[in-house]
Amino acid sequence: MPRILPGQTDLYALTDSRLSLGRPLPVVAAALLDAGVRILQYREKKLKAGKMLEECRILRRMTQNAGACFIVNDHIDIAMLVGADGVHIGQDDLPVQEVRRLVGPEMIIGLSTHSPEQAVSALKAGADYIGVGPIFATQTKEDVVPPVGFEYLEWVARNVDLPFVAIGGIKEHNIAQVTARGARCCALVSELVGAPDIPAKVEAVRRAMRK
């Protein structure tokens, strides 16, 4: 399984069928993978479990063929059933230690964090990477916490010896501000899956990150 972690690659894409301009998931995923995205997270909040399982099986095959890392958001059971590379959980989900008991030693576990205390706890609990955010206000999640801004991001970059991905409202026009403050990997949702030309947007975002 590809153990590609944030920091080993620059972009981390998340799916969202509501923002994909009506395009089927395989079409969007193929465009992302063909553009060189090497971490793809399946995050769909409004679908039934059977549909999610079906879609994750498709994405598992596609990411394997592309040599990319496949992460499933929240649904540990689906991640295990499809042989995903990892699972991403939030602060209100099962504790990292319990997830580890379920998924075994090899599967990647990512944990969303919003404060220094949560980052330290994630490190102690054995998370493989953390999400840092939301950096900016975002509308792609309904239960989102208030933006943490740059202060927490800079703190993590200075103090946490764990791979991390910055997330939350990150777009082409502001991503340079995020990388300037220590983020080597950024997660994007609407900016990528909602782009009419996904490969062109991936290229533009990468150019912006290098400014």
Q: Which residues are catalytic?
A: 43, 112, 141
Q: How far apart, in whole angstroms, are the C-alpha atoms of residue 51 and residue 57?
A: 10
Q: Which 8-state DSSP code applies to residue 17? A: G
Can you say whether the dihedral through the CA atoms of 92, 104, 83, 133 is positive or negative?
positive
- Residue 75 is encoded by which pair of tokens? 């649904």
Residues 119/160, Cβ–Cβ less than 8 Å:
yes
Among candidate residues 95, 77, 98, 69, the one with its CA nearest the CA of residue 163: 69
Give CA–CA dist 129/111, Å, rounded.
7
Instruction: Return the number of other C-beta atoms located less than 10 Å from residue 119's C-beta.
Output: 22
**Whole-angstrom distance, CA of residue 73 vs CA of residue 55:** 13
